[in-house]
Chain A
């Protein structure tokens, strides 16, 4: 089983700042199978990034990078609506595990 670790657990930033979220895997896999989601309270998760591509309708301030065991989600300039919890998930081998999440809150 591929275990995903996300850091930091909480990221306190101000609107307009840059957010860098890390997702580290216990074993290497293709970046094509790494997915990032955003979730707000009371809502279903929203797909942001799959592989190196933004999902439909996702603003270009969101970008994903990385390879092997280290992956990063970057939000170039935080907008008020970006404060939420972010999860990574690997879809390369079953079980399709999620990371524990990073909460981005307002400083």
Chain B
């Protein structure tokens, strides 16, 4: 079964850090570009970051550039999002998604609050 499972969310204080993980199974992970997308409570979808299958191409939304780092470990079938200098406006459910969005995880919740 093709599956993505996110983990690593939680409550963090403003200015803090968090590392999200996305474990992939059921497909050849290295063959697919991957994305992180977030959704603030009651709001729409916001694309966060993209990484190509070989990790040779990476993009970020302006809202997270310089604070978030996307990476992947194809040997471990895993995608990551390192988040630093977190702000209240980063509070959201974070989803990992495969390629053009054919497969999504269930999401992990990040809450930035003191």
Contact = CB atoms under 8 A, between A and B. Distances in A.
Interface of A: 1, 35, 37, 39, 44-47, 50, 55-56, 85, 87, 89, 91, 94-101
Interface of B: 35, 37, 44-47, 50, 59-62, 95, 97, 100-102, 104-107
Contacts of B59: 94-96
B102 A56 contact: yes
Contacts of B97: 45
Contacts, number: 54
Is chain B's binding surface mostly helix, strand, loop or mixed? strand
B104 A89 contact: no
Given A45-B45, A87-B44, A94 B50 contact: yes
B47 A89 contact: yes
A63 B95 CA distance: 25
A52 to B, nearest CB: 13
A47 B45 contact: no
A44 B61 contact: no
